[in-house]
A and B are shown apart, each in its own frame.
Chain A
Amino acid sequence: MKIIVCVKQVPDTNEVRINQETGTLIRDGVPSIINPDDKNAIEGALALKDIHGGHVTVLSMGPPQAKEALKEALAMGADEAVLLSDRAFAGSDTWATSTILAAAIEAIGGYDIIFCGRQAIDGDTAQVGPETAEFLNIPQVTYAKHIKAVGDRVQITRYTEYGDYVIEAKMPLLLTAIKELNEPRFPSVRGIFKAYSTDDVKVWTLDDLKIDMTQIGLKGSPTNVFRSFVPVKEKNSLIIEGQNGKEKAAALINKLTDLKLV
């Protein structure tokens, strides 16, 4: 079974701070991590390989530093890593990113499953997986929480607000993973040694892909950021005073009763 996992390196949004004056991100000192849902996708691919055998390629588009994320995936057990890095890719929105990923996946070729995380914690769009599937013209199942491969078919349990759906499809197809799918493994000591002692991450540029330049980068992206700002959420809060919890609670309930809220 040949599986390609798309991963994104993201800033740990728990640690992100905003420069209140400029409304920009302070990236200094913010650790970069593999996007959490993508880690579930890597684990999903490795688990399928554990059962059925095969080959797992991890694929990422990003700046040269994103190699670190791919090395971590290699240490977890992926067989091959490809980084797509080129100035021409900068400023890509989800359309352009999916265009580039789809071109790279076609260049790798011969795949059975493409695996993505449901969404990335920096953008939270959940669009890159489905758009990539659209450009590759393959079926997709998103929000996958359970996966089983039988012969040339895959059976997926996918989350919906109405209860789970069990869906079956023939390979090749694209899946997006949610947290409930699995518990990502830790890299083994041997894996870490191998991944970090060699430089096995292949780096591809624009020249390695067959791509329509009008569909990528800042210029090719149909959407762009008009403005960004820091949300203001401060309110006139009233802290209720009192001798003890009982007094405060009674005062609060009186206020809520006056407002007809309780």
Chain B
Amino acid sequence: MNRAKVNQGNNLADYHDVWVIAEQNEGKIHPVTIELVGEGRKLADSLAKKLAVVVPGADAEDEARKLLHYNVDKVYYIKHPLLKDFSTEGYALSISELILEKQPEVVLLGATSIGRDIAPRIAGKVGTGLTADCTKLEVDGEDHKLLQTRPAFGGNLMATIVCPKNRPQMSTVRPGVMEKAAYHQEIHGKLEIFIPSLKEEEIRTVLIEKVKSDKKKVNLIDAKVIVSGGRGLKAPEGFALVRALAEKVNGEVGSSRACVDAGWIEHLHQVGQTGTTVRPDLYIACGISGAIQHLAGMSEAKYIVAINKDPNAPIFKVCDYGIVGDINEVIPAMIEAIDKNGSFEI
């Protein structure tokens, strides 16, 4: 078996620059890419290196060029007709080819279902370590090690992982965790087109169909306000109350896993370790106990409000404002109070 190996004594000083592998779908860039660019800039600055974004695609040059507006030094557009649709092998092979040629020091991908599919294959092809689902990245001042911090054991423990002897240092980063890069009118970087040596027979899977879901999109990641319901709602109908409050405050509806498992609401709404990580300005938890796996997904919210009838519920330890009470009484009263406050303004 001819495969890449780690620990081959490569000279670490031969590797430069911080790379972000962009995720695009039908020409649209995934928000996590902008988050990674924001984080990548900080890392590149503390390493005194350049920041590059890699965009694989067939017809995505315009989108790729737009990324230069996010204070990026270089955009590599990997262009090939076989990269029109996502395939594990097509993407992993061509990104690996570019990495082996240019030798970046750090490579970041979004920890999406696509990023987590290709990142291990890229690490496997270039022969380096990979750290999954990071929530914090720092550079060790002394030897430029990337300190990659991630939750383990369901968020009970945080582990900082390093990759001391191999390059690039690769991580996938949870969407919603890092702050987005700002858009600038002026640009200073350049776009470079890279044509990979991809062959059709190297892609051994065929995409038959993309099933368009006609369901309303749930956008928890970009929501400024989220109202979430938990098992305390007692029944699927309880979400009517949560929804009513969410509408009043222009928010999205979130959920604990308990309600998803019970079939009261779809998984798309689930917040937490095995759901979505969110960082809204305001998170209102209604009848949610505050299990560590739930907290893992929402503790970075700017303000957390908890409504729970159990004064000892762990959620009260992480909230900014708490109400000990029955949601069936408190939520309607909140809606009423908002209506009243609103009428003052008129």
Contacts and interface: CB of A to CB of B under 8 A. Distances in A.
Are A and B co-members of a single complex? Answer: yes
Interface of A: 11, 13-14, 16-18, 23, 25, 93-95, 98, 102, 106, 121-131, 133-143, 155, 157-170, 173, 212, 214-215, 220-231, 233-240, 244-246, 248-250, 252-257, 259, 261-262
Please name the 8 residue pairs, one residue from A and one from B, whose CB atoms are nearest each other, closest first. A222-B129, A134-B124, A249-B333, A13-B154, A245-B329, A223-B129, A130-B120, A125-B132
Contact of B160 (A14, A162, A225, A253): A225
B120 A228 contact: no
B303 A259 contact: yes
Interface stretch (B53-61, B200-208, B229-237): B200-208
A236 B156 CA distance: 21
Nearest to B203: A139
A225 B322 contact: no
Given A130-B117, A139-B204, A249-B334, A240 B322 contact: yes
A11 B334 contact: no
A126 B174 CA distance: 13
Contact of B158 (A13, A127, A130, A228): A228
A161 B30 CA distance: 10
Interface of B: 1, 3, 5-7, 25, 30, 86, 88-89, 92, 112-114, 116-121, 123-125, 128-133, 145, 147, 151-166, 204-213, 225, 248-249, 273, 281-282, 293, 295, 299, 303-305, 311, 316-326, 329-331, 333-334, 336-338, 340-341
B119 A127 contact: yes
A124 B133 contact: yes
Contacts of A256: 282, 303, 305, 321
A212 B114 CA distance: 30
What secondary structure prevails in chain A residues at the interface with B? mixed
B29 to A, nearest CB: 13
5 contacts: A95-B130, A143-B117, A166-B208, A222-B166, A249-B334
Given A230-B157, A230-B158, A240 B323 contact: yes
A234 to B, nearest CB: 5
A16 B162 contact: no
Given A255-B321, A256-B305, A135 B163 contact: no
A240 to B, nearest CB: 5
Nearest to A106: B1
A139 B203 CA distance: 8
Contact of B157 (A25, A159, A254): A25
Nearest to B224: A261
A164 B211 contact: yes
Contact of B153 (A25, A141, A169, A248): A25
A50 B145 CA distance: 50
A157 B159 contact: no
Contacts of A236: 320
Contacts of A212: 5
A166 to B, nearest CB: 4
Contacts of A250: 333, 337, 340
A160 B86 CA distance: 11
B114 A240 contact: no
Given A166-B211, A262-B338, A239 B249 contact: no
Contacts of B92: 134
Given A121-B154, A237-B318, A252 B205 contact: no
B130 A245 contact: no
A240 B321 CA distance: 7
A17 B165 CA distance: 33
B162 A226 contact: yes
B133 A125 contact: yes
Given A237-B318, A256-B305, A137 B1 contact: yes
A224 B163 CA distance: 7
A130 B118 CA distance: 8
Contacts of B330: 245, 248-249
B205 A169 contact: yes
B60 to A, nearest CB: 15
A170 B203 CA distance: 11
A17 B89 CA distance: 40
Contact of A16 (B153, B164, B336): B153
Given A121-B154, A262-B249, A139 B89 contact: yes
A233 B209 CA distance: 44
Given A23-B157, A166-B208, A222-B6, A143 B326 contact: no
A215 B316 CA distance: 47
A160 B119 CA distance: 15
B206 A168 contact: yes
B165 to A, nearest CB: 7
B218 to A, nearest CB: 11
A142 B326 CA distance: 42
Contact of A124 (B132, B213, B317): B132
Most chain B CB inside 10 Å of its own CB: which residue of A212, A245, A259: A245
A102 B326 CA distance: 54
Contacts of A25: 153, 156-157
Nearest to A11: B153
Listed residue (A95, A122, A143) with the most chain B CB atoms within 10 angstroms of its CB = A95
